[in-house]
Amino acid sequence: MSDIKMINLKINGIDVTVPAGTTILEAAKVAGINIPTLCYMKGINEIGACRICVVEVKGARSMVAACVYPVSEGMEVTTNSDKVIAARKTTLELLLSDHRKDCLSCERNLNCELQKLSNEYGCNAYRFRGVSSKTDAPDTTTDYLVRDNTKCILCRRCVATCNKVQTVAVIGANERGFKTNINCAFEENLENSPCVACGQCINVCPTGALHERYEINDVKKALADPEKTVIVAAAPAVRAALGEEFGNPIGTNVEGKMVTALRRIGFDKVFDVNFGADMTIIEESNEFINRVKNGGTLPMITSCSPGWVRYMEFYYPDLIPNFSTCKSPQQMFGALCKTYWAEKNGVDPKNIFVVTIMPCVAKKAEKLRDHQNASGYPDIDAVLTTRELAKLIKEKGIMFNDLPEGELDNPMGEFSGAGVIFGASGGVMEAALRTAVEKLTGEELKKPDFTEIRGMEGVKEAVYDVAGMKVKVAVASGLSNAKKICDLIRNGKADYQFVEIMCCPGGCINGGGQPILDAYTRRNVDYKTLRAGALYSEDSKKALRKSHDNPVIKDVYDYLGEIGGHKAHKILHTEYVVRKKY
């Protein structure tokens, strides 16, 4: 028998029963009533600041913020009276009074929560004249993100995400009153802060105050250059989210249509970063086995997520010896395009332009790191986010949903099921285990599924009996969870042998470059699980589900020599640096 106390109340005359501690906002949803919000993010930013969610409560002296106001027995709530609607409209018009009104040219046009609410409430954008000092030029100092405070509404969703979800806290509210602005400490630019480039602030921003640094024009210029062989490849998580930009349900796998769209845009070769993921597993599992057998530094920590790599370099540089030296799948892919593929096809690497489509903003920074030029030229020349690819497809007039299914080019379009699950938290670990276990035991895995490390939990642990050894693994996603694991390792309290960490909660399927979802969808739809499901579904259908079974791998190592050898290390491995936080 449950001990949870239930509360009975009425919302717009509808009887509702909810557990004690429930807010009016949550109770209204049970009654099938939507109360609008702007600043609210469940469990992350519950501050009642924007006042868009105000409602009337019988007996209360004034309207209350539904997102933070708890229900009580016999409460009577009205969410849609003329008084409530007028209050919300006035609040929106006050927000618009000092907001830039260039909606038609804004990157968030038609996908802006402020714009949507202003339209629904019939707002007059010029009713009030603002007195804000929001005149600063956009912060364009980084290679991955643009911040424009003239479009900021001070909801603080980005601040809460940076602080609570990622524990980086490089931005906050500066000044007071009309001078309040969201900025780094001492008004420094992002370039001079320990920002990890995750882009999660972009995903939660309700307006166009934050967006990735666009590279679409760089790609178009390369496509127009007759001397360039332009190669493109998408990361695994892109195929599970791109369709959302064209009205498809969350979790729709649009790999085939994406391939056709990329061909019609004009790319010379359409490969897949999943191939790079398979290569990463070959090198990474070999590195892990060598550390286990030869007393190397354990636990070994994965290095696929560039936001996580930056976080480690800023906040846990003492763990650099634990890091796998493998490049990420993106960088391995680019390096092999300009070495292995270039030599095989007689193309000078200086004339190869490699574009990747990423769910990630940090990949834009990763391509500029040191030791990412195996051929003497940058491994990767341009990175487009999932959102940027959608913009390019629309600009080209391609009717995405009507496209036939296309097939990837060989040889670097070949990949295993292990490669595709890299996009979900736990996928890198599972892919590595599929190969490492077979190599350590010398026996074929009859069932290559390691389901214990799947799912959207922030931290997952499992122990596997491998060749007489107990191998304990940990998987974390989101930097607040990464911090928990890192503190255990730093303090000598962790008994893990292998650790996977992804910067973004849920992994790449929730990367900072994925389609923007409004706050209502983010809190009411399990979009991360839906996107991850598309990847696990593709994996389950693949004939080849282990990276070392990819038939192209043998040909690549005919070129590279032995796994983990000198040539492989030169092309496929990297180094790390200690970064100063301030």
pLDDT tens digits, 365-420:
999 999 999 999 999 999 999 999 999 999 999 999 999 999 999 999 999 999 99
pLDDT reading at 229 higher than 60:
yes
Average pLDDT for the chain: 96
Judge whether 76 and 55 are in contact, CB under 8 Å.
no
* Residue 158 reports pLDDT greater than 70: yes
Cis before residue 299, ω within 30 degrees of 0? yes
Q: Which domain holds residue 524?
A: 217-572
* 176 and 236 fall within a common domain: no
Has residue 578 been placed in a domain? no
Note the pLDDT tens digit of each residue in 291-350.
999 999 999 999 999 999 999 999 999 999 999 999 999 999 999 999 999 999 999 999
CATH number of the domain to which 456 belongs:
3.40.50.1780
Domain boundary among 50, 80, 110: 80
Inter-residue contact 414 to 551 (CB < 8 Å) = yes
Q: Across the strands, what pairs with 182?
A: 173
- 398 plus 278 within the same structural domain: yes
Model confidence at 499: pLDDT above 90: yes
In a domain, 85, yes or no: no
> Within a domain: residue 525?
yes
Instruction: Output the DSSP codes for 212-271.
Output: EPP-HHHHHHHHT-TT-EEEEEE-GGGGGTGGGGGTPPTT---HHHHHHHHHHHT-SEEE
The answer to whether residues 284 and 384 belong to one domain is yes
Residues 517 and 449 in one domain: yes
Q: In this structure, are residues 38 and 154 in contact, taking their beta carbons and an 8 Å threshold?
A: no
Judgement on whether residues 266 and 347 belong to the same structural domain of the protein: yes
Please indicate, yes or no, whether residues 208 and 222 belong to a single structural domain of this protein.
Answer: no
The CATH number linked to 20 is 3.10.20.740
Q: Domain for residue 379, yes or no?
A: yes
pLDDT score of 127 more than 70: yes
Task: Kindly state the tokens that stand for 352.
Answer: 């190869």
Whether 132 has a pLDDT exceeding 70, the answer reads no
Alpha-helical regions (H) of 445-550: 479-490, 519-524, 527-541
Same-domain status, 138 and 63: no
Q: Helix crossing, 216-223 with 386-395: angle to 10°?
A: 50
Any domain includes 237: yes
**DSSP β-ladder status, 459-466 and 181-183:** unpaired
Following DSSP, what letter does each residue of 262-321 receive, concatenated?
Answer: HHHHT-SEEEEHHHHHHHHHHHHHHHHHHHHHHT--SSEE----HHHHHHHHHH-GGGGG
pLDDT of residue 135: 58
**Distances from the Cα of 136 to the Cα of 128, 139, 148, 389, angstroms:** 21, 9, 8, 29
Residue finishing a domain among 212, 239, 260: 212
% of the chain at pLDDT higher than 90? 95
Which residue type does 160 have?
A
Q: Is residue 577 part of a domain?
A: no
Domain count, the chain: 3
Q: State mean pLDDT over 181-185.
A: 94
Q: Is the pLDDT of residue 43 over 80?
A: yes
- Is residue 122 domain-shared with residue 153, that is, in the same domain? yes
Q: Are residues 167 and 62 in the same domain?
A: no
In this structure, how many other beta carbons lie within 10 angstroms of the beta carbon of residue 129? 7
What is the CATH number for 193? 3.30.70.20
Is residue 231 located within the same domain as residue 369?
yes
Predicted confidence band of residue 1 (pLDDT cuts 50, 70, 90)? very low
Per-residue pLDDT of 436-495, as tens digits, reads 999 999 999 989 999 999 999 999 999 999 988 999 999 999 999 999 999 999 999 999
Which of 31, 51, 80 terminates a domain? The answer is 80
430 with 557, same domain: the answer is yes
The length of the chain in residues reads 582
Q: Are residues 195 and 278 in the same domain?
A: no
- Per-residue pLDDT band at 245 (split at 50, 70, 90): very high
| pLDDT at 14 (0 to 100) | 98
**Can you give the pLDDT at residue 3?**
81
**Does residue 40 register a pLDDT over 70?**
yes
Provide the token pair at 284.
Answer: 């990474």
